[in-house]
């Protein structure tokens, strides 16, 4: 934050408030009009996401914002400032997973619109453009590609992805879906960028928290310090030997289940030691299965298929864990007579948030009377793309019970209002002329 915000109780000018009634009305409309058998379904470049973008654009025009789209149909809704560039962007996505929750992604876009509506209603003059961005195709469940919309905004979408990546539910290519929705596929193939580091002063993504930290800490909001990077083995295998459960003594077994369990236990102990040493780390074995074609209650298992997911904000920690994994695997192989085949590796780089924006969001929360603890994001977000392009980036988490990507998401409007108020204070500190002490 460039300047500390004035206290609204002592400002001569009235401090604007976010339009919470607008946000609540739009949450209800989105939930009703994109309802699925359970929760909501807003498929990327499908009817639900298209409708959500139409609703957001309609409200932006009503507020008096300038509405634009780029080649990938990312939506930009702008309150113009006296200096048009660089702009401050508040943004998130409007697509959802199948039968997902109504708040994941949408909370960020509607928080931005609530802030913009409050600024417009109060007639606050802006030094710089304030843009609310609704980003396309964040949920990789649809196209098995990360951050399609935000990467496209920076001209980073690979041409081959347009033709090779297909949507999970219908098999149509990404290019076909973008074209059907009205996007400019030729511009995407050429790598044309709508945004750049030079044109974006800062990017802030409000989002429901997808874990239980804020619930556990009894805090309505938190400020993200960084998005964890990762490395993953999605198709790992442990190979042992099938044998009779009663006739094969322990010393002669090559039990794939016991070997994989030993690996899991060693990784859990490693995780505990790393946390005690102050490292940021999450280790998950999200899949663990024997082969249903061959397993039986009376057989020693000869094969286990499993998946490994390692996440940290530190590249050094991730590199160390990769070495530890290899070391532990060799030891377990020797002790259990099994063999690990970890298969292809996928990874992503950590995305640290801008320290100035982290501090600014925490000061804005404090000015509103709330403590916003710092915490990492274990899930990926479009903010990672902005940070990776050198844009000063921050994220504001909103307390949410029951996790995300499910119909049971449970953000309250009271917590949303605290997030929107914090966002208002931060934004006016960045680009508001009348409230920039």
Residue 391 has pLDDT above 90, yes or no: yes
Residue 184 pLDDT class (50, 70, 90 cuts) = very high
Distance CA 169, CA 285 (A): 26
The pair of three-digit structure tokens given for residue 186, joined into one six-digit string: 């030729």
> Under CATH, which architecture does the 229-348 domain have?
2-Layer Sandwich (3.30)
Residue 14 pLDDT class (50, 70, 90 cuts) = low
What pLDDT is attached to residue 4? Answer: 28
Q: Of the ranges 2-11, 331-340, 362-371, 399-408, which one carries the lowest mean pLDDT score?
A: 2-11
pLDDT single digits (tens) 237-271: 999 999 999 999 999 999 999 999 999 999 999 99
Residue 84 pLDDT class (50, 70, 90 cuts) = confident
| Annotated domain spans of the chain | 20-227+350-431, 229-348
pLDDT single digits (tens) 339-351: 999 999 988 889 9
pLDDT single digits (tens) 94-118: 999 999 999 999 999 999 999 999 9
What pLDDT is attached to residue 435? Answer: 45
What percentage of the chain reaches a pLDDT higher than 90?
Answer: 91
Residue 433 pLDDT class (50, 70, 90 cuts) = low
Average pLDDT over the chain reads: 94
| pTM for the whole structure | 0.87
Distance CA 377, CA 351 (A): 10
Classify domain 20-227+350-431 by CATH number: 3.40.630.10
The stretch 221-237 carries a mean pLDDT of 96
The pair of three-digit structure tokens given for residue 205, joined into one six-digit string: 């993504």
pLDDT single digits (tens) 157-180: 999 999 999 999 999 999 999 999
Residue 9 has pLDDT above 70, yes or no: no
The stretch 316-341 carries a mean pLDDT of 98
Number of Cβ within 10 Å of residue 32's Cβ equals 10
């Amino acid at each position: 934050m460039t300047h500390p915000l004035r206290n609204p109780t002592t400002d001569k000018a009235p401090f604007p408030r976010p339009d919470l009634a607008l946000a609540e009305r739009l949450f209800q409309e989105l939930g009703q009009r994109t309802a699925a058998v359970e929760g909501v379904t807003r498929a990327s470049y499908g009817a639900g996401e298209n409708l959500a973008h139409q609703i957001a654009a309609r409200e932006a025009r009503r507020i008096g914002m300038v509405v634009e789209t780029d080649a990938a149909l990312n939506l930009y809704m702008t309150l113009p400032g006296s200096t048009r560039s660089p702009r401050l962007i508040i943004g998130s996505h409007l697509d959802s997973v199948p039968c997902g929750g109504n708040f994941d992604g949408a909370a960020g876009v509607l928080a931005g619109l609530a802030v913009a509506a409050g600024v417009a209603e109060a007639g606050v003059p802006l030094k710089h453009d304030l843009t609310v961005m609704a980003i396309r195709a964040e949920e990789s469940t649809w196209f098995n590609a990360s951050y399609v919309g935000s990467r496209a905004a920076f001209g980073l979408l690979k041409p081959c992805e347009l033709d090779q990546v297909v949507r999970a539910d219908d098999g149509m290519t990404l290019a076909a879906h973008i074209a059907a929705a009205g996007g400019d596929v030729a511009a995407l193939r050429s790598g044309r960028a709508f945004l750049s580091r030079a044109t974006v002063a800062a990017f802030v993504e409000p989002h429901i928290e997808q874990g239980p930290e804020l619930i556990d800490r009894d805090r309505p909001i938190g400020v993200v310090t960084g998005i964890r990077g990762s490395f993953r083995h999605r198709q790992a295998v442990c190979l042992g030997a099938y044998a009779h459960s009663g006739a094969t003594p322990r010393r002669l077994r090559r039990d794939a289940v016991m070997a994989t369990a030993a690996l899991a236990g060693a990784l859990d102990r490693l995780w505990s030691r790393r946390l005690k040493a102050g490292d940021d780390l999450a280790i998950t074995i999200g899949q663990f299965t024997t082969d249903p074609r061959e397993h039986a209650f009376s057989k020693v298992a000869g094969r286990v298929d499993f998946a490994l997911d390692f996440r940290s904000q530190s590249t050094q920690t991730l590199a160390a864990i990769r070495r530890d994994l290899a070391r532990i695997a060799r030891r377990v192989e020797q002790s259990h007579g099994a063999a690990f085949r970890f298969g292809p590796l996928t990874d992503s780089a950590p995305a640290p948030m801008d320290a100035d924006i982290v501090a600014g969001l925490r000061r804005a929360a404090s000015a509103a009377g709330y403590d916003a603890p710092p915490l990492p994001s274990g899930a990926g977000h479009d903010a990672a793309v902005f940070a990776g392009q050198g844009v000063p980036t921050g994220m504001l988490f909103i307390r949410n019970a029951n996790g995300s990507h499910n119909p049971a998401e449970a953000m309250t409007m009271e917590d949303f209002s605290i997030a929107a108020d914090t966002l208002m204070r931060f934004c006016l500190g960045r680009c508001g002329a009348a409230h920039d002490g």
